[in-house]
Structure 1
Amino acid sequence: MVSVLVVDDSVVVRRLIVDALSADPGIQVVGTAPNGKVALSKIDMLKPDIVTLDIEMPVMDGLTTIKEIRKVHPRLPVIMFSTLTSVGASATLEALASGASDYVTKPANVGSVSESIKSVREQIIPRIHALCRTGGPSRMGAVRPAPRPVAPLARPAAGGTSVPQVVAVGCSTGGPDALTKVVSALPVTFPLPIVVVQHMPQVFTKMFAERLDRASALKVVEAQANMPVQAGMVYIAPGDYHMEVNRRGNGVFTNLQQGPPENFCRPAVDVLFRSVAAVYGGAALAVILTGMGQDGKRGSEVLSGKGAEIVAQDEATSVVWGMPGAVTGAGLAHAVLPLNEISHHLINRVAGGRTARS
């Protein structure tokens, strides 16, 4: 049984969250709090397994609260509740940078209480199970096998060289912080384009790209349609759009489309990875960072079949070992690395070496 503390200044929202969570027999709400100050005392008293935390509250807001929680409880999972606005997105990204585990968006323009409860339930229950590692989406019941040894790729990469021409990254829960650590450690001379799917809604992806750009030597943008894919650039897929790459003449360009969600996601990592496989073949290096679910597994299968290299973040440094765990469990990962080794591996690979541990 997972115990949850619900923190929100609105009585209506607290009731809505409690009702949404009551649908799961494996979850018990052990307490509620109207602000962060009360929440801090209740955390010590109730010792919940996870906390849901509103951002805008009187007395002590969510940003201050998450910082205080992390001083005493560095590993306690915390899910932020955010609005789908620029202000809400900015505050949420700040909360994630301050140690929040994940976030969900508050229902907007929903016609009934039952629809609001359904919206919250569909977002938050899988995250609770994943973050608390209760056999939910993060674990998938898979046995963790040893990663592939680092060796010559199964097939020669495009152009007769194993040195990659593009880096493709997929991430979700915990991804903003993980991606920031990887990208910010790359030098301005990093010679490859980086294409990224981070599961995020509209508004959030634009602000995340701007935030990552400020933290990085490389130029980071939210992708737009028909942008040339160029060395030294990082392209973040925009919320609610699948991002692909396609070749036209001698160049490679971004393509955005709103086809059906895959793995319940749009953008989806699988969509991006399939297009990268079609354009770059074995001259691609794919990285699967922390995230809930299995998005990226099927795309990694296609990339691996072309001879591309797959790197997965390890379990110990992942917020949720769902996506990288799925790829590793399928035997697709050439290397499973701690987060702090991934940027070094990328730098070494573009120089023609291999440093990954098996």
Structure 2
Amino acid sequence: MHPHSSTASPDDPYRVMVVDDSAVIRGLLTRALEGDPDLRVVASVGDGQMAVNALQRQAVDVIVLDIEMPVMDGLTAIPKLIAIDPAVKIIMASTLTQRGAEISIKALQAGAADYVAKPTSTRELGAADQFKRDLAAKVKVLAASARRAGSRNRPGVRADRPVVAPAIRKPAVPAPVTLRPMPPLFHPDVIAIGSSTGGPQALFEVLSHLKDGPIQPILVTQHMPATFTTILAEHITRQCGIPCAEAKDGEPLTGRRIYLAPGDFHMVLVQRGASVTLSVNKEPPENFCRPSVDPMMRSIARIYGRRTLSVILTGMGQDGMRGCTEIAEAGGMVVAQDEPTSVVWGMPGAVAHAGIANAVLPLKEIGPAIRRFSTRTAA
């Protein structure tokens, strides 16, 4: 049994590996993470192959992984790391460039849980307090999720002595979730989806079921910066077979299309006479996000009310809960992803525990459910 792995007490810090070919960046990331008492950097290495070797030697909860490195890059390393420890969570450190966005989306498809937009210089990183706070917050939430997912297959950990989850643990008796009854003879005029951490993978899964299905417009708000949403829309179009593009201000809402909130803009609907158009705006962030799910859901509730089918997928925080409350109060349908299939059960969990969901479903059942409700004949 290897010296680093043993049963962790509830007070043990989460274990992080930092992987970057720049020793300076590794040092800055390590200091940023270890500034939080709940985090401990247990390995700091310079390429993907070294990360694979390190993970074989010791248990890690989260890996912060650079994309472009010598010997083995981040994209190549992801499946190898997950094969060693399926519970480990990987955060890609990416630049806010088109190339960085393209590779990050591929990394998420390959199994990375999330990404952070890495400052482009060491001076910028040293001064980037917001980046450090965001990174630490993401690492803690994903580390808690990794420990809940179980560590029985981790190197050096005997099957009869799993790593014990620390302070943020799933309660022994989960809080009960009360579902609202299904609306009778429900047939939506619009489908709205909100997602965050783990969202791109979840979106690909859900939307892949809807090709040649719903005629309704589909609106999606995924927490992502500009450039990333452009690339995500292209990937959705290619993989799911439904035209998807970032929403444009003043664009009329039409069926058989997916409208994606552009990075750094809220996307809402506006009624002008008999027609409904899209509006994008830079009003203040909500739930620390722009785009935010809540403004989209609120605007849809006002126009479509009970003819709305809303879905909240995996993500941190509770964005979407207030907007979905308005949809529920108007008689529309609210579906939340369940906890076992969510990378983070923050957003869908908030909806479930608020008692506004009509259904809490595993990821693979959400697409078929949307298709079923949206393609049946209206009452």
TM-score by length of 1: 0.91
SS at match of 2:87: coil
Gaps of 5+ in 1: 154-160, 354-358
What is the CA-CA distance between 1:114 and the residue it aligns to?
A: 4.0
Of residues 293, 306, 313 in structure 2, which corresponds to 1:289?
A: 313
Check whether the contact 1:20–1:120 (CA below 8 A) recurs between aligned residues. Answer: no
Check whether the contact 1:244–1:271 (CA below 8 A) recurs between aligned residues. Answer: yes
Gaps of 5+ in 2: 1-12, 145-165
Equivalent residue number for residue 74 of structure 1: 86
Cα RMSD for the two superposed structures = 2.1
SS at match of 2:41: strand
Aligned: 1:145 with 2:176: yes
Equivalent residue number for residue 156 of structure 1: none
Check whether the contact 2:91–2:114 (CA below 8 A) recurs between aligned residues. Answer: yes
Aligned: 1:119 with 2:143: no
Of residues 43, 49, 52 in structure 2, which corresponds to 1:40?
A: 52
Cα deviation, 1:112-141, whole Å, max 9, x if unaligned, reads 55423x1332221111121122666x989x
Of residues 81, 93, 101 in structure 1, which corresponds to 2:113?
A: 101
Q: How many residues are treated as equivalent by the alignment?
A: 344
Check whether the contact 1:244–1:275 (CA below 8 A) recurs between aligned residues. Answer: yes
SS at match of 2:192: strand
TM-score by length of 2: 0.86
Aligned: 1:251 with 2:283: no
Check whether the contact 2:311–2:336 (CA below 8 A) recurs between aligned residues. Answer: yes
Of residues 17, 21, 28 in structure 2, which corresponds to 1:16?
A: 28
What is the CA-CA distance between 1:227 and the residue it aligns to?
A: 1.5
Of residues 264, 271, 276 in structure 1, which corresponds to 2:295?
A: 271
Distance in 1 between residues matched to 2:112 and 2:68, nearest whole Å? 15
Distance in 2 between residues matched to 1:61 and 1:266, nearest whole Å? 31
What is the CA-CA distance between 1:234 and the residue it aligns to?
A: 0.4
SS at match of 2:306: coil
Distance in 1 between residues matched to 2:41 and 2:86, nearest whole Å? 21
| Pair 1:253–1:139, CA change in 2 (3 A) | farther
Equivalent residue number for residue 237 of structure 1: 261
Cα deviation, 1:324-358, whole Å, max 9, x if unaligned, reads 000101111110000111111111112448xxxxx
SS at match of 1:281: helix
SS at match of 1:302: helix
Check whether the contact 2:55–2:84 (CA below 8 A) recurs between aligned residues. Answer: no
Of residues 202, 212, 233 in structure 2, which corresponds to 1:178?
A: 202
SS at match of 1:282: helix
Of residues 239, 247, 252 in structure 2, which corresponds to 1:228?
A: 252
Cα deviation, 1:141-176, whole Å, max 9, x if unaligned, reads x953234154336xxxxxxx7311001100000000
Check whether the contact 2:64–2:92 (CA below 8 A) recurs between aligned residues. Answer: yes
What is the CA-CA distance between 1:71 and the residue it aligns to?
A: 2.4
Distance in 2 between residues matched to 1:221 and 1:113, nearest whole Å? 32
Aligned residues with identical type, % of pairs? 43
Distance in 2 between residues matched to 1:253 and 1:108, nearest whole Å? 37
Aligned: 1:90 with 2:121: no
Distance in 1 between residues matched to 2:64 and 2:124, nearest whole Å? 22
| Pair 1:249–1:303, CA change in 2 (3 A) | same
Check whether the contact 1:222–1:235 (CA below 8 A) recurs between aligned residues. Answer: yes
Give 1:222's aligned amino acid: E
Give 1:259's aligned amino acid: E
